[in-house]
Amino acid sequence: MDLFSTQQPDLKTLFLQLFHCAEEEAVDSLIKKYPGVFASSDNWKPLGGSANMYGVIENQQASPIAALVEKITNSIDATLMRKCYEAGVDPKGADAPKTMEAAVKQFYTGQAEQWDLPSFRKKQAENIQILASGPRMNTSLTIYDSGEGQHPDKFEDTFLSLLRGNKNEIHFVQGKYNMGGSGAIVFCGKRGYQLVASRRYDGTGPLGFTLIREHPLTKQEQGSLKNTWYEFLVLDGKIPSFPITELDLGLVGRPFTTGSIIKLYSYSLPAGSRSVISRDLNQSLNEFLFEPALPILTVDTKERYPDDNNLERPLFGLKRRLEQDDKAYVEENFVEDFTDALFGKMRVAGYVFNTKVGGKSAKDTKDSIQREFFKNNMTVLFSMNGQVHGHYTSEFITRSLKLNLLKNHLLLHVDCTNMSYEFRKELFMASRDRLKGSDETTKLRQFLATKLGKAGGRLAEIEKKRKDSIAVDGGDSKELLKNVTKNIQMNPELLKLLGSTFKLEEKKPQPDKHDKPEKKAPSKPAPEPFKPQRFPTFLKVRGHHDGDKALTGIPLGGEKTVRFDTDVENQYFNRVEEPGELKIALLGVKRAAGKNNNGSSTANGGNLDATAWAVEDVLNVNVSSPQDGTIRVTMNPQKDAQVGDAVQLKVSLTAPGEELEEIFWVKIADKDAPPKPMPQPEEEPLQGLPEPVFMYKEQKDGALTWDQMEEAIGVSVNHDTVVHPMASGENLEKIYINMDSKVLKSFRSKHRNITEAQLEISGRKYWTAVYMHTLFLYSITKNRKYQITQTKAGEQDPVDVADYIKDLFENFYSEFILNFGGMEEMMQGLGE
């Protein structure tokens, strides 16, 4: 059959012709070919039932990837709905699952556990497919699911409706607002063409289909209307339909029989996602679908990419990529579980990336990490049911956590699924692709910055470990710093500038001290290496507790960390297969005199009914994932607690068979007294300036090698590198200077038969100039509060000040300062 016959088509032929249009231009041609079908205004109805819905559709997802994710989410919802109907369960009834996770467990018993195996995962993924077609740079996308499907007479209540809240009473699906799926229309070329087709899952009824488009304004309408609208095709006032048994629509592993098909013509994929979609788009979608309920299959074609051998790839979320498929990139991962009066419950997972992987250089490794896991510039992901609803960029790592060393090697995932509804609803826009500018959002950011960035926390320990691995003896650098800053101390204006950026301390007279022999600390035997077990065999709280005696006191207004010893592996709480958890239950509450159960004053305290209370009613709790045999639980009292209150807790660690338990009391204690000021050691001149550290290609005493910098902190150093400023938050801590740089070697090569003295002088001039210029460029930029950006792929990308200075020196600035020194030398050079 010639699908593109000029005769008036039957409905099946019309559908197939629409489906096989490769891009928007082909749809244009088809519309012109059949004016009897498409030209009459009677054959088009406004999407959402009103021409005033244009703003609702246009003002949804800002990103084409986020809009596409909404389509996939709808397919997941439809697939779970089908399983619910097939199980004979009313989706709105009491027997229906209450969460998406519970739905997967209930409807895929014995199957979901196998999806970690590639063959089983791919088989399940064939139920939701994303297929590419059309020219490489004008790609159309088809989304198929074998879900519940819809009868033609239900299209206007489902696919084509807006703002009706169709899923509000169904708890195990993601969609609530009944508009998210329409956000992709604005990214469908210039005319918003989208083909929708569906048949009910049980095979009853025909296949219905319609074409959505942006209404083309007539000349008369252009003169009278501000906006156009989106509309869909009807014939004789109804959704077109025709009977089928099955259709060959190019799906993987099956013909189309039931379910839904949506084709997005000439979809505006962003740079980095336009090539083979089974690779590039797959990676982008993984970032937005951190942990989807069901796997999805991404498919490209041999016609588009004849040389690619992997055109079908399952997609099952970034979490599985990080913890299973691509775990070689990850040095360490951990979770922090928070229970707090502010938001209810929240889990934060952290992934720290290696600085070098698989023989790649630090630069190549960093580039691979950015390409594989940060394609959409999302460093902190906020998700609901595994779908990312908002994010922070890497500026959160540097500005809020002040962990500059980890800014390119850290990804954080914040699971908001179990937050209280009242708090969570103020976090995300209805488009589910960005955070609101609400008070709740601000408070959450402050909470995360405080808890994740605190001294002694897991991230601070990781950054310190990396810094310590490139530490050198500071004796020589202190002497160098003395010499280079002599003139600064004589200039009050320069001191004022530096003093506003760095915490400078001038040397004060100190009484003479008699040298005392240092006492050597007794040597401790090296601890036995930790031998992790897949499942724990014991749980033991550290400290003494007998009967009613409290294990510890928690200061009012402060916090206390209780540590537990165990033998389970570090990833026990967040691994994909057979994860465990630490549960905390409230067994008893003793109120101190002055309060009763409802908080009113009373002369006597006493025992309260613990069954009426939950842990979060009394304590805010933070449970950290195991770290080499230690589990940390940090607690702080709720605001209505008072000194003398006591709480009995049962802490249980899940394990095969019986849970491992510890029961103990904790008591609310007085606020901690402020720490006494410690005697300050003798300060060096201008103490607080960043330390200069030299780097060489080969090993030299008191310096670092290029390889050491790469291995420890992922900084790529070569002959082009001049300086690497290392900051912690806003503070510039060290200035690493490359003494084997091309610019220094070039400067020295101008002098024949150079002497050792000249080598030393040129080296001193070089590092002094680099150090001082870095110091003052950093100080001025920070004090003047400049925000630096760089244009990348047509967008303004924020640039850290330290990175800006490093790039400046690698692009002619170092040649300038080395050859001219300062303004006077430059003027003399120009006058010769």
Flag whether pLDDT at 134 surpasses 60: yes
Question: What amino acid is encoded at 512 in this protein?
Answer: D
Q: Is residue 247 part of a domain?
A: yes
Asked if residue 73 and residue 39 are part of one domain, the reply reads: yes
* DSSP annotation of 202: T
598 CB neighbour count, 10 Å cutoff: 6
Asked if residue 358 and residue 282 are part of one domain, the reply reads: no
Q: What is the pLDDT of residue 265?
A: 98
Strand-pair partners of 298: 130, 313
Q: Is residue 223 part of a domain?
A: yes
Among 639, 669, 699, residue at a domain's last position? 669
Q: Is residue 708 part of a domain?
A: yes
175 within 8 A of 259, measured Cβ to Cβ = no
Q: Is residue 515 part of a domain?
A: no
Asked if residue 546 and residue 454 are part of one domain, the reply reads: no
Asked if residue 816 and residue 735 are part of one domain, the reply reads: yes
Query: Which segment of 80-94, 162-176, 475-489 scores lowest on mean pLDDT?
Result: 475-489
Task: Give the structural domain span for 326.
Answer: 318-468
Flag whether pLDDT at 497 surpasses 70: no
Can you list the positions of beta strands (E) in 342-469? 344-353, 380-384, 387-392, 410-415
Question: What amino acid is encoded at 804 in this protein?
Answer: Y
Strand-pair partners of 792: 795
Asked if residue 327 and residue 302 are part of one domain, the reply reads: no
CATH code for the domain of 435: 3.30.230
Q: CA–CA distance from 542 to each of 535, 551, 565, 580, 631 (Å)?
A: 20, 9, 7, 21, 10
Question: What amino acid is encoded at 222 in this protein?
Answer: Q
Q: What is the pLDDT of residue 83?
A: 97
Asked if residue 332 and residue 356 are part of one domain, the reply reads: yes
Q: What's the mean pLDDT in 479-496?
A: 60
78 within 8 A of 198, measured Cβ to Cβ = no
Question: What amino acid is encoded at 494 in this protein?
Answer: L
Question: What amino acid is encoded at 19 in this protein?
Answer: F
Span 755-808, pLDDT tens digits: 788 788 888 888 888 998 998 899 888 888 888 888 876 677 788 888 899 999
Asked if residue 546 and residue 486 are part of one domain, the reply reads: no
Flag whether pLDDT at 490 surpasses 60: no
Taking the mean position of all CA atoms in its chain, how far away is CA 408?
A: 12
Length of the chain: 832
- What phi, psi does 394 have (nearest 5°)? -65, -10
Residues near 631 by Cβ (< 8 Å), separated by ≥ 6? 539, 563, 564, 566, 582, 623, 624, 625, 653
Q: What's the mean pLDDT in 229-251?
A: 96
CA distance 267 to 246: 27
Q: What is the pLDDT of residue 714?
A: 85
Nearest to 259 by CA among 195, 181, 176, 197: 197
118 CB neighbour count, 10 Å cutoff: 10
Among 417, 442, 468, residue at a domain's last position? 468
Asked if residue 67 and residue 131 are part of one domain, the reply reads: yes
494 CB neighbour count, 10 Å cutoff: 17
Q: Is residue 297 part of a domain?
A: yes
* Look-up of token digits 């914040």: 414
Do the strands 646-653 and 630-637 form a parallel or antiparallel pair, or are they unpaired? Answer: unpaired
Q: What is the pLDDT of residue 683?
A: 44
Q: What's the mean pLDDT in 742-756?
A: 81
Q: What angle do CA 621, 627, 632 make, to 5 degrees?
A: 25
CA distance 828 to 819: 12
Nearest to 188 by CA among 15, 375, 27: 27
Q: What's the mean pLDDT in 83-98?
A: 94
Nearest to 380 by CA among 405, 348, 423: 348
Q: What is the pLDDT of residue 606?
A: 65
Flag whether pLDDT at 196 surpasses 90: yes
Q: What is the pLDDT of residue 473?
A: 61
Nearest to 207 by CA among 6, 9, 16: 16
Q: What is the pLDDT of residue 682?
A: 46
Q: Is residue 518 part of a domain?
A: no
- What phi, psi does 325 have (nearest 5°)? -65, -45
Do the strands 691-696 and 704-705 form a parallel or antiparallel pair, or are they unpaired? Answer: parallel
Among 451, 468, 485, residue at a domain's last position? 468
* DSSP annotation of 157: G
Q: Is residue 545 part of a domain?
A: yes
Q: What is the pLDDT of residue 685?
A: 45
Question: What amino acid is encoded at 333 in this protein?
Answer: N
Round to the nearest angstrom and report the end-to-end CA distance of the chain: 86
Calculated CA dihedral for residues 426, 431, 432, 438, nearest 10 degrees: -20
Span 329-388, pLDDT tens digits: 999 999 999 999 999 999 999 999 999 888 888 888 999 999 899 988 899 999 999 999
CA distance 61 to 180: 8
671 within 8 A of 555, measured Cβ to Cβ = yes
CA distance 373 to 355: 14
CA distance 621 to 637: 9
320 within 8 A of 576, measured Cβ to Cβ = yes
CATH code for the domain of 601: 2.60.40
Q: What is the pLDDT of residue 597?
A: 46
Q: What is the pLDDT of residue 4?
A: 47
- What phi, psi does 794 have (nearest 5°)? 80, 5
- Averaged pLDDT of the chain: 86
Asked if residue 273 and residue 139 are part of one domain, the reply reads: yes
CA distance 808 to 730: 19
Q: CA–CA distance from 279 to each of 133, 212, 292, 325, 639 (Å)?
A: 15, 29, 18, 14, 50
The number of folded domains in the chain is 4
Q: CA–CA distance from 185 to each of 64, 269, 286, 357 (Å)?
A: 9, 13, 21, 40
Q: Give the residue, 263 or 428, on which the prediction is more confident.
A: 263
CA distance 298 to 287: 14
CA distance 77 to 269: 24
- Host H or E run for residue 772: helix 756-783
Q: Is residue 784 part of a domain?
A: yes
Q: What is the pLDDT of residue 757?
A: 81
Q: What's the mean pLDDT in 396-401?
A: 92
183 CB neighbour count, 10 Å cutoff: 26
CA distance 548 to 195: 69
564 within 8 A of 630, measured Cβ to Cβ = yes
Flag whether pLDDT at 729 surpasses 70: yes
Q: DSSP secondary structure string, 223-238?
A: HH-S---EEEE-BTTB
485 CB neighbour count, 10 Å cutoff: 21
Asked if residue 334 and residue 212 are part of one domain, the reply reads: no
Q: What percent of the chain has pLDDT over 90?
A: 55
Q: What is the pLDDT of residue 684?
A: 45
Q: CA–CA distance from 513 to each of 243, 375, 475, 516, 775 (Å)?
A: 99, 59, 20, 9, 34
Q: How confident is the model at residue 489 (pLDDT cuts 50, 70, 90)?
A: low
657 within 8 A of 482, measured Cβ to Cβ = no
Q: CA–CA distance from 193 to each of 149, 216, 217, 309 (Å)?
A: 21, 12, 15, 31
Asked if residue 658 and residue 625 are part of one domain, the reply reads: yes
Q: What is the pLDDT of residue 2?
A: 46
CATH code for the domain of 70: 3.30.565.10
CA distance 659 to 630: 17
One-letter-per-residue 3-state SS of 253-299: CCCECCEEEEEECCECCCCCCCCCCCCHHHHHHHHHECCCCCCEEEE
Asked if residue 174 and residue 291 are part of one domain, the reply reads: yes
